[in-house]
Structure 1
């Protein structure tokens, strides 16, 4: 059993179901293993399932309770690993996402549920996730189509309302970086969370305003800038060919052509001494920065090993960054205006 650290009072959050949990989840993209769109890798390379399960159980021992995945990660494999690791655990919060079609045998993406009957495919996706997760109920189901138009998204949420009434879904939300999309459904009783890109390099003020106005939970995707804010990458460092960060997607800011973007590595160098105040690691400081931005933020850093889980969980004891440190970070970063909303 791993020793549990008592979280700082400001590093806990009360969820939509009134459970109070540490304000840190685990993002389970990396443990899904390889999956592809044609020849393009969408995962983080090969994985060791035994190591992934050990890391998940380490997180539970440390007091972490929120685990975020998606049906498409590893073409279903992330959900399967999470289900195996947490089977029988009633005191955890499992969040998953739906919206992408995929073939679990070939590990290939195959379009989106928007290509078919949205309500029928939503129900089928939830049923498949329940099987892989070994659950009778999923605490939070999120729409995984970032820029789906507002109208069709309503069909997904209508079906999720039916599944809530049947007891298969606890609540729902949207993984989107577009404030107007989140705002369109923020008043629904079942709509409780928005998952969006947010980290020290991009603080998402417009989306955070929607979250705070409606009392939602801000689930912070890419809180460590796809790993850059761990401080373990050098400017220009190359990534393995099978890693999603080896691609050049429009939404991928911190890695281009398979290498660390020097501009962001330089920004980290300018503020590293501020992130590591009070003995924090750079990753712990980046998590603490998110906590200081709003009491509604819930970062979900990725992981592969128990060591990474322990490091991230170590941020809980110290809590948010102090106000003076936050101000100095802003001064040194010389942050640009937010700009028009886009997928991140």
Structure 2
């Protein structure tokens, strides 16, 4: 297992981290589906132990994943291994319980204690402000940030983090004509107010590519010594060719994919067609496409960590086995070229084309 030095945490971790959202199972939060169907807790726990055996040292969860179930499963693993060998990341901000807002100081601290209880640990290595909703006029912004800083000063967390936008170039914030100007400016405002140690961002073959004149999230964080966790590097399975546009999957209401347009016929058709050239060059099997997707994500930044979701030992094993055959820089350039039409089609389907895409 390759290890990388994660800025912000100042610690070496496995280049692949275990993304534990999936193992939380079916759930909803305030009427919003947030879960995953088809999860067997015993298989999920077996996958966690297999991940540890294979050298994964970073595990990312959240209080809202399965409304605590993901944390509790991970807590079983922490009770069986040397805690100092594992980096644990969790999040707060979406689950409010009966409080007015999840970022009220008392509620945040209650959730933090519940997370520690679920995990059976005295401290967290990473703790994220999961949501960018800080109440009307950002009422709870400073309260939430200050609370995490106190936890960090007291040694109860090692580093604090926030989410970055799916699409980001620093220069967009000062371009009023850019459709992402407002979202970019909002992130920069929150970044400067919170001063996170680590950010998490969605990054995969479907993500935008940027011009040399644009400062993407990787360049932005490098300049500031901030770490990056990359999520959805396999596109929640969309990049593995497992979903057919001719038979779109049906998910139960508590599965977040039930309302995700990416799993509908039009987007699945775009993805299917966009992967054709890639499959012709590197292979059409899910394991072939996983190799391409993982290697592509890992080359984005030498210190960024890729989070991989799973539901059983076979999946986590297969995802790590593909890294035994790394791709060359020339392969990565070819992958970027072959998937360019996919990114163009997705951008055109979801929002109007803009400069730099």
TM-score bracket relative to the smaller structure? 0.7 to 0.9
> What is aligned with 1:84?
76
2:35–2:255 Cα contact (<8 Å) kept: yes
Q: Any idea what the Cα deviations from partners look like across 1:101-126, whole Å, max 9, x if unmatched? A: 266xxxxxx7xx77366222221211
> What is aligned with 1:49?
41
> What is aligned with 1:34?
26
1:146–1:176 Cα contact (<8 Å) kept: no
Instruction: Provide the alpha-carbon RMSD of the alignment.
Output: 3.1
Do residues 196 (structure 1) and 201 (structure 2) align? Answer: yes
> What is aligned with 2:222?
212
Matched residues in 2 for 1:306 and 1:116: separation?
A: 34
Report the alpha carbon displacement of residue 171 of structure 1 after superposing the two structures with TM: 0.7
Moved more, 77-86 or 204-213: 204-213
TM-score (norm: length of structure 1):
0.81
* Structure 1 residues 61-72: aligned runs within 5 Å: 61-72=53-64
Moved more, 322-331 or 67-76: 322-331
1:245–1:256 Cα contact (<8 Å) kept: no
Report the alpha carbon displacement of residue 97 of structure 1 after superposing the two structures with TM: 0.9
* Structure 1 residues 40-189: aligned runs within 5 Å: 41-87=33-79, 88-90=81-83, 91-101=85-95, 115=101, 118-146=104-132, 148=134, 152-177=140-165, 179-184=184-189
Report the alpha carbon displacement of residue 150 of structure 1 after superposing the two structures with TM: 6.7
Moved more, 261-270 or 310-319: 310-319
Q: Any idea what the Cα deviations from partners look like across 1:154-177, whole Å, max 9, x if unmatched? A: 321210011112221111100231
Do residues 256 (structure 1) and 264 (structure 2) align? Answer: yes
Report the alpha carbon displacement of residue 268 of structure 1 after superposing the two structures with TM: 1.7
> What is aligned with 1:328?
334
Looking at secondary structure, tell me which structure has more helix per residue: 2
TM-score (norm: length of structure 2):
0.78
Structure label with greater radius of gyration: 2
Report the alpha carbon displacement of residue 293 of structure 1 after superposing the two structures with TM: 1.7
Report the alpha carbon displacement of residue 34 of structure 1 after superposing the two structures with TM: 1.2
Matched residues in 2 for 1:181 and 1:301: separation?
A: 28
> What is aligned with 1:224?
234
